[in-house]
Chains A and B, each alone.
Chain A
Amino acid sequence: MDLRDTPEEARFRDEARAWLEANIPRELQGYRGNETRFAELGRAWSRRLYEAGYAGLTWPKEYGGGGAPYSFQAIFLEEAASAEAPQHIGVIGLGMAGPTIIAHGTKAQKKRYLAKILSAEEIWCQGFSEPGAGSDLAGVRTRADLEGDRFVVNGQKVWSSYAHLADWCILVTRSDPDSQRHDGLTYLAVDMHAPGVEVRPLRQITGHAEFNEIFLTDVEVPVENVLGEIGGGWQVAMTTLLHERGTLGFALTGALEVAVGRLVALAKERGAGEDVRDRIAREWIELQAVKHTNYRALSQLIKTGIPGPEGSVAKLVWSESNQRLTKLALELLGVEGQLMGDGAYWQYQQLRSRGNTIEAGTSEILRNIIAERVLGLPRSR
């Protein structure tokens, strides 16, 4: 056990920190959204990440990745978060579509898609949730009917971030109309510029539109765009979801660290009594706990290649911590916390945090996963 960076890790951390310091576009520093007006800047930033070798750090070298150990990815995510660097515009491609293609894609698919994810030439979005299938993904009803060498897709997807900018979508469809639940699903890569694809922004509780609805009407998708087997889409989708909650943990704790730091600064400025100091200390302790839980999970992964049960904890705890601490910040701001407009940092963060316990697996679903897969309790459904 040694929690310090190895000499190689320390060198990589120093380089990454210096590079971020010199390269983060000031207009985007601290920005977490994906509005169209920032898309060009975002693409340019992502290309710089790619050129510097920071996109796809752990991806195999043959697909344009860095072939680096997981610890480097964790270090970069930590440094990027503490520098308040904007995300790579292709987060869905990097974190979800890419790893799924690496796991299930054909040689041709890997060649076609992976490098352009890293370079931000092509942006991806995710088409999983539907109005009738949220936590219950097996309830997917978007149809994909095989006609010759193509699928004809009809249906509606929802809560898709980046769809308004995306070139490609990972889409879960029902290809066998008589199938039930987990059977008869097919996982497709869909060209977002194809005729019949319509994207409508969804305005959320913050007033911003980060998510979209996707309407698909007779969209033609060639069979070579199937990932995995026809009818085997459920297994492919599970790979995607596993990656969604994978090294994400380090980005989350990095962002939480920034938020706790800002909260301490706010409390100092406003003058904090014993009660507020106690509550902030609680949040700081919780942050250290999640952070070190991530380190344990990472060490386990590096040593054994098998993720330990610690990994299922990070997103659940982070989301609830973020909700508590943003509420505390608003409480400290008092009536001023009701003012919106420029500089309304906490106001936005507090409202946005309500989505944290819903997106990427609701807290209820995550607790089910812990109860059933980690503790071995009987399935509730």
Chain B
Amino acid sequence: MDFTFSELQQELRAQARDWARDRYPLERAQEVVLSGEGWDDSTWGELAELGWLGVSVPEEQGGAGLSFLEEAVLYEELGYALYSGPFLVTLAALPALAPDEQPGIAAGEARWSIELDGFVPELSRVDSVVTRDGAVRAVGETLATMDLTRPLGRLERDGAWPIPGTIDLPRLHVALALEAVGVAQRALDLGVEYAKGREQFGKPIGIYQAVSHQLANTFVDVELSRSLAYWAAWSVAVGEEQAPIAAAAAKAHASEAAVAACERSIQVHGGIGFSWEHPLHLFYKRAQWIQVFAGSPAKQRATVAAALFL
């Protein structure tokens, strides 16, 4: 049994961290989200150049030919960075598409999204959409959404073209769970940093157990969610039989953990955590988005229960 990431996977994680630190620090993430489009399409070329868009695309289709585990590392790190852009939804479309659609994705020339429950995330930022009836052009109305990083849209259909597959839901559940782990970790880090520096009654507030135990609870939640998400990612990567259940478990746990992590962090920050100026609300809204998209925690637990009560 080996539950550690390979050297290559760890290098990829370090690369993603470095990129976020140098090219996408929190101030930029915040600025981008609050600007007109809500994302900076120049980052897309950077992601393509780094090889991240085609990380799991076969080499003969212009990708890196790596596994879902490498992709997994990126979901977590981009969640931590609060990256705004159709990375997750483009990669979510991939398993449904024919090989000849893949080189364009890996090269950063084609952006995709998926339609689930009548909604298309980041509709205005992509070219095409995977739906239940095949692929369609990304035309429609973008709605005002709570999470500014990932607006939802509604399609105006004008004819679909056939694609070989459908949306791989377990894979999507794991991607969202991993992103939630990244969000929760960032909310925790921000809370810890603040609790160390902010003084009241002459002492840093992190000395008070009413504060520190909230952060300890978040640490526990994050570690548990991370374990579930990695287990589920590995299960999906190797096609284990329990993959759909593991993915449902990870999505339910990690998305709730991310919401709770943000809520506790806002509380630890006090008034500043409640302000528009502080980036925490952006993480909080992303966490809530993840929680309900592609099946709420209750729905995921119903999947788990169905397997337990066979």
Contact = CB atoms under 8 A, between A and B. Distances in A.
Interface of A: 1-6, 9, 71, 264, 267-268, 272, 274, 277-278, 280-282, 284-286, 288-290, 292-293, 295-296, 298-300, 303, 309-310, 313, 316-317, 364, 367-368, 370-372, 374-380
A285 B305 CA distance: 10
Interface stretch (B24-32, B125-133, B223-231): B223-231
A143 B58 CA distance: 71
A370 B1 contact: no
A367 B212 contact: yes
Given A264-B309, A368-B212, A317 B5 contact: no
A290 B223 CA distance: 9
A332 to B, nearest CB: 14
B220 interface: yes
B301 A317 contact: no
Contacts of B226: 296
Contacts of A370: 216, 219-220
B253 to A, nearest CB: 5
B215 interface: yes
A3 B231 contact: yes
A359 B309 CA distance: 34
B301 A377 contact: no
A299 B4 contact: yes
Shortest 4 CB-CB distances between A and B: which pairs?
Answer: A289-B224, A371-B212, A292-B227, A377-B206
Interface in B2-38: 2-6, 9
A239 B220 CA distance: 23
Contact of A268 (B9, B206, B309): B309
B308 A284 contact: yes
A301 to B, nearest CB: 10
A295 B226 CA distance: 12
A281 B304 contact: yes
B120 interface: no
Contact of B215 (A288, A313, A375): A375
17 contacts: A1-B6, A4-B1, A278-B305, A282-B301, A284-B308, A285-B228, A285-B249, A288-B246, A289-B227, A289-B249, A290-B224, A296-B4, A364-B209, A368-B216, A371-B209, A371-B215, A380-B208
Residue from the set B204, B252, B304, B305 with the largest chain A CB neighbour count within 10 Å: B305
A296 B234 CA distance: 13
B196 A376 contact: yes
Nearest to A296: B3
Which applies to chain B's interface (DSSP): helix, strand, loop or mixed? helix
Nearest to A374: B219
Interface in B181-222: 188, 192, 195-196, 203-204, 206-209, 212-213, 215-217, 219-220
B302 interface: yes
A264 B224 CA distance: 22
A368 B215 CA distance: 10
A268 B308 CA distance: 10
A380 B3 contact: no
Given A292-B227, A296-B230, A317-B224, A380 B212 contact: yes
A129 B114 CA distance: 59
B264 to A, nearest CB: 13
B224 A313 contact: yes
Contact of B227 (A2, A278, A293): A293
B74 to A, nearest CB: 15
A277 B4 CA distance: 33
Contacts of B208: 380
B1 A376 contact: no
Given A264-B309, A375-B216, A375-B219, A71 B1 contact: yes
Which applies to chain A's interface (DSSP): helix, strand, loop or mixed? helix
Contacts of B238: 2
B1 A379 contact: no
B298 interface: yes
Interface string B42-80: 000000000000000000000000000100000000000
Contact of B228 (A277, A288, A316): A288
A278 B305 CA distance: 7
A277 B302 contact: yes
Interface in B70-114: none
Given A2-B2, A367-B216, A377-B196, A278 B301 contact: yes
A371 B216 contact: yes
Residue from the set B223, B298, B302, B309 with the largest chain A CB neighbour count within 10 Å: B223
A285 B304 contact: yes
Nearest to A372: B212
Given A370-B216, A371-B212, A289 B304 contact: no
Contacts of B304: 281, 284-285
A2 B6 CA distance: 10
B301 A285 contact: yes
A296 B233 CA distance: 14
A378 B227 contact: no
Contacts of B9: 1
Given A280-B308, A281-B301, A289-B225, A377 B192 contact: yes
B230 A1 contact: yes
A289 to B, nearest CB: 4
A375 B188 CA distance: 9
A278 B217 CA distance: 22
A288 B225 CA distance: 10
